[in-house]
């Protein structure tokens, strides 16, 4: 007896409904916790005090706000470059360790995440203060005659930011480097390539997609970073997150704060899409090279 064609169709619909039921709780949380606040954010940004684009005009028309946006972007670029420059060799070194030592190195890298970010930020005040550990060592070694000023300046904010965000770049790089087959480099060496050529033309291109993604992740996190600029910067290093805190808690300028938040969201989405495009191009280039 031939089976009815409606039975497979009904089974497929039932499976889709079951999968949909599994997704519904997460979708509800996403809607209530993220999408609904965003839906309320846009109308709030258009009330300044009447309905219109006045808040966005102030954000991009007044030099004080535009300078903060540009300064945040500049500091985010600096932090990203430093994480790439110092993080890539560190990730390469960890990936070349033996299994046991690699676990020890990864645990040391992840260990700070078990401590509150606020505690880690305040620890930099102890290290970077005028009578802190770093200045004490520099003066005892005779490198400087008087304490250096790290706190409440961009340099101190950058040191703290890089320390906190560098693991977000290093850990994906370690995973990507560890997944590369070492026989590829050995094959390049057997064909007459030098060690540098084997690294630059074989190994490095395979890590570029992860490098691009990790770099943009650090950039996005720095763009909206609050704790470290607020604590180490002491309110003197102006960034978007500290400006938002001032607009909400001090001046109660809700429309401008909403406009700035919406701009930050759009900028983050734009950077994310750019990162995906560049990573896809890097992967395509790596496939062509192979």
pLDDT at 84: 95
pLDDT at 177: 92
Please, are residues 257 and 247 in contact by the beta-carbon 8 Å criterion? yes
pLDDT at 11: 57
First to last CA, the chain: 54
Please, are residues 232 and 160 in contact by the beta-carbon 8 Å criterion? yes
In which residue ranges of the chain is pLDDT below 70? 1-20, 50, 283-290
Other CB atoms within a 10 A radius of the CB of residue 84 amount to: 17
Residues 221 and 261 in one domain: yes
Residues 38 and 111 in one domain: no
Residues 55 and 39 in one domain: no
Residues 30 and 72 in one domain: no
Domain count for the chain, please give it.
2
Residues 58 and 156 in one domain: yes
Six token digits for residue 123? 């620890």
Residues 115 and 3 in one domain: no
- pTM for this one? 0.80
Residues 38 and 79 in one domain: no
Residues 135 and 161 in one domain: yes
Kindly report the CATH number assigned to the domain that includes residue 223: 1.10.3720.10
pLDDT at 10: 58
Residues 9 and 106 in one domain: no
Domain membership of residue 92 as a residue range: 50-289
Percent of the chain with pLDDT over 70: 89
Question: What does the pLDDT look like over 142-156, one tens digit per residue?
Answer: 888 888 888 888 888
E strands of 143-259, at which residues? Answer: none
What does the alpha-carbon distance between residue 159 and residue 237 come to, in Å, rounded to a whole number?
Answer: 13
pLDDT at 76: 92
Residues 39 and 56 in one domain: no
**H or E segment to which residue 48 belongs:** none
Contacts of 104 (CB under 8 A, 6+ apart): none
Residues 38 and 58 in one domain: no
Question: What does the pLDDT look like over 47-95, one tens digit per residue?
Answer: 777 677 778 888 888 888 888 888 999 999 999 999 999 999 999 999 9
pLDDT at 12: 61
């Amino acid at each position: 007896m031939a089976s009815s064609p409606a039975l497979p169709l009904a089974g497929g619909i039932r499976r889709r409904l079951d999968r949909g039921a599994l997704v519904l709780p997460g979708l509800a949380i996403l809607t209530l916790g993220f999408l609904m606040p965003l839906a309320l954010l846009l109308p709030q940004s258009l009330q300044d005090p009447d309905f219109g684009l006045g808040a966005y005009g102030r954000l991009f028309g007044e030099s004080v706000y535009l300078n903060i946006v540009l300064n945040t972007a500049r500091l985010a670029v600096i932090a990203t470059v430093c994480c790439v420059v110092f993080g890539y060799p560190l990730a390469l070194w960890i990936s070349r360790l033996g299994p046991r030592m690699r676990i020890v190195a990864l645990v040391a890298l992840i260990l700070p995440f078990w401590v509150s970010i606020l505690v880690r930020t305040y620890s930099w005040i102890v290290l970077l203060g005028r009578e802190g550990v770093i200045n004490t060592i520099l003066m005892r070694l005779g490198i400087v005659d008087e304490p250096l000023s790290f706190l409440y300046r961009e340099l101190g904010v950058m040191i703290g930011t890089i320390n906190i965000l560098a693991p977000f770049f290093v850990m994906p790089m370690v995973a990507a480097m560890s997944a590369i087959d070492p026989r590829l480099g050995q094959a390049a060496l057997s064909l007459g390539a030098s060690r540098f050529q084997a690294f630059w033309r074989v190994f490095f291109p395979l890590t570029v997609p992860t490098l691009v993604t990790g770099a943009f992740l650090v950039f996005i996190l720095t763009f909206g970073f609050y704790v470290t600029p607020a604590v180490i910067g002491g309110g003197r290093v102006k960034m978007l997150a500290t400006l938002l805190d001032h607009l909400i808690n001090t001046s109660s300028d809700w429309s401008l704060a909403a406009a700035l938040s919406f701009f930050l969201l759009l900028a983050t989405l734009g950077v994310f899409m750019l990162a995906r495009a560049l990573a896809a191009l890097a992967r395509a280039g790596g496939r062509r090279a192979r």
